[in-house]
Amino acid sequence: MRQTLVALAAGLLFGAGLLLSRMVDPAKVLGFLDIAGHWDPSLAFVMGGGVIVAAAGFALGKRLGKPLAGGHFPLLRRSGITPRLAGGAAIFGIGWGLAGLCLGRAITALSLDPLAIWPFVVAMFVGIWIVRGLDAARQSQPPALSTPAVQNRR
């Protein structure tokens, strides 16, 4: 129960920050990306503030060793840039640039203008469902066959 309350509080704080900074408005993001037109640099300050808060959170997490609400901090199993990571980042960036929305902002924006945002949210969740299905299909495939001759050459 404590973990749920902490997650709820963190989500509400995140959403409030998006609302306060007006980052739920797609025009705000598109104004930041329009460097040749009427550029709006305010998003850079919001991102910079987010980086500072995240860095402080990571530093605090290292000092604590475990979350205040119990459990453990999840560890990344991989490091480095993979084709999947680069592809996902590219798709995210293209979508963000075209629509001015991403996951957290879209869900927060539902509270302000649900009729305008719901098509994006539905499309986003369909995309998530497709990727999860592709991942499950890829993981259920048997490993590639290797012969002893191939193994000996390694």
SS3 per residue for the chain: CHHHHHHHHHHHHHHHHHHHCCCCCHHHHHHHHCCCCCCCCHHHHHHHHHHHHHHHHHHHHHHHCCCCCCCCCCCCCCCCCCHHHHHHHHHHHHHHHHHCCCHHHHHHHCCCCHHHHHHHHHHHHHHHHHHHHHHHHHHHCCCCCCCHHHHHHC
pLDDT tens figures, 62-80: 888 888 777 787 777 778 8
pLDDT tens figures, 114-132: 898 889 889 989 988 998 9
pLDDT tens figures, 42-52: 888 988 998 99
